[in-house]
Amino acid sequence: MLQPELVRLVTDARSSVKSCDEDCSSGSTGRPSEDEQGDLFIFTPQLIHLHRDHELFEDGDIHRHMYLQDLYVSEADDKPSLSVSEFACHISGCSAAFISLEEYEHHYNSLHRHVCCSCRRSLPSARLLDIHIQEWHDSLFTILAQRQDMYQCLVEGCGQKFRTSTLRKDHLIQIHKYPPDFRFDKTKKDRGTRQTKRQQQKDTAMEVVDDVCESEGVCEVMCDVLSNQPEQGDSMEMHVGEEGAARMVKSASPEEHVHLSAAAHSTENTSTEPLKPRYSYRIPTTVCFGHSSVRGFRGGRGRRK
């Protein structure tokens, strides 16, 4: 209901109201002239003329004709439902829709907020994001890790550090009772792992890429890059060793060189079993990482809306 003073305003014929004897310079001279980017923002006030058959008039017309045909009912028995706008995640590649803002916020905070700029991977918290960036994209870290314990325990407050991620993983499992397949402790060695068809590819878990293209058509480019890699990887890794490692290194971006070769070196000796998958310095498939349902910025391999 209207406030009482407004009711009075509109019903009291004697109230003095300033009439609109003003302006109306046609056009938008009220706005100061914008910078040259002003044409990005295109809104101008518009007089809207609606012709007889316009859809905006449909309900009113129907009501009128129901009245003419003696079918009028005053306050409708079936109340026309007033509907509320839905929300939708507009992040490129994500098409989730929500009834409420809270749902939207939860979705966004869970899946899109803590995203690594370099590799577009989504982490659930700022801390895990920080650790991820450190361990994956920081060359200084890589160097230091060779000499000291740099891999932090993921449990906040624990404070322990480890020389390798494997050791940390063991710690997490043993001491903190983490599952062996904890999703947010993927190691860098899995990069480029086209976790094979055997792993669930049920959705949009997106893996790392080396070279992230900054252009708009991000999805296609990245997916292409990614799909190219395993072929390379496969053939290369058939021949584990310097050569393979070196070739991998070449295809990676410069800052990763050191790390990769380090990784290659450190895991060479673990990749001896003939039954192991071809990706020799990768984590065995019994231990799965990263096939989480985390929805990153990219909607999955090649899946671009």
Partner 1 sequence: MWRLNKVRHKAGRQGDSLEELKLKRREHEKALRQARRDRQLVSKRLLLNDDEDLPQMVTSNLSSESAPWREAHLKTLSKVLRDPSAQLTFIKQENSMHLLVGFLTGSDATCRLQAVRCLHELSHSSHTNVSPACLPATPYLLTYLSGQSTKFTELCLYTLGNLCPDSDIVKEKLLAQGIIPALANCLENQRHNLAVVEAVGFTLSQFLQAKDAAEKIILTVLDSSLPSNLLSVLTSDPKFGLAPAIECAWCLHYLTCSMNDNRVLLAHGTLLQCSSLLVSLGGAVAEGNKEEGMELFICPLLRCVGNLLSSCPGKDLSTQVGDVRIVVALYALLQAYLQTQPALARESAWVLNNLTAHSSAFCSALLDLNLVPGLIQLLPFSQGINTMILRILANIAHKKKEFCAQLAHHGLLSALCATLKMADQEMVTLSMDVLYMLVVSGPQVAEEFVRQGGLSLLEAIQYNSEGEIRRRATHLLEDHLLSYSSYLSSILRQ
∠ Cα 188 234 146 (to 5°): 30
- CB atoms < 10 A from the CB of 233, how many? 21
Q: Rounded to whole angstroms, what are the CA distances from 150 to 41, 145, 168, 202?
A: 48, 5, 10, 34
| 143 near partner 1 (CB under 8 A) | no
Judged by CB under 8 A, how many residues of this single chain contact partner 1?
A: 85
Rounded to whole angstroms, the Cα distance separating 127 from 271 reads: 32
The least CB distance from residue 178 to partner 1, in Å, is: 27
Rounded to whole angstroms, the Cα distance separating 87 from 103 reads: 9
Rounded to whole angstroms, the Cα distance separating 198 from 209 reads: 21
The residues with which 115 forms a beta bridge, in sequence order, are: 122
Cβ distance to partner 1 smaller for residue 83 or 148:
83
Q: Residues 18 to 37: which contact partner 1 by CB under 8 A?
A: 18-26, 28, 30-32, 34-35, 37
| 84 near partner 1 (CB under 8 A) | yes
Cβ distance to partner 1 smaller for residue 76 or 140:
76
The least CB distance from residue 170 to partner 1, in Å, is: 31
The least CB distance from residue 81 to partner 1, in Å, is: 8
Query: 218: which residues sit within 8 A by CB, 6+ positions away?
Result: 92, 212, 297, 298
Cβ distance to partner 1 smaller for residue 6 or 143:
6
Cβ distance to partner 1 smaller for residue 66 or 155:
66
Cβ distance to partner 1 smaller for residue 50 or 275:
50
Rounded to whole angstroms, the Cα distance separating 26 from 251 reads: 60
Q: Residues 107 to 136: which contact partner 1 by CB under 8 A?
A: 108, 112, 117
Cβ distance to partner 1 smaller for residue 31 or 147:
31
Six-digit token string for 72: 């009028």
- CB atoms < 10 A from the CB of 164, how many? 15
| 214 near partner 1 (CB under 8 A) | no
Rounded to whole angstroms, the Cα distance separating 167 from 182 reads: 14
Rounded to whole angstroms, the Cα distance separating 132 from 149 reads: 16
Question: What x-and-dash track marks residues 36-75 binding partner 1 by CB under 8 A?
Answer: -x--xxxxxxxxxxxxxx--xxxxxxxxxxxxxxxxxxxx
| 14 near partner 1 (CB under 8 A) | no
What does the CA dihedral 73, 75, 80, 84 come to, rounded to 10 degrees?
170
- Contact present, 153 and 260 (Cβ < 8 Å): no
Cβ distance to partner 1 smaller for residue 51 or 177:
51
Kindly tell me which residue out of 14, 33, 90, 198 binds partner 1, with binding defined by CB under 8 A. Answer: 90
| 291 near partner 1 (CB under 8 A) | no
Nearest by Cα to 244 from 226, 230, 264, 229: 264
The least CB distance from residue 227 to partner 1, in Å, is: 21
| 140 near partner 1 (CB under 8 A) | no
Cβ distance to partner 1 smaller for residue 104 or 182:
104
| 275 near partner 1 (CB under 8 A) | no
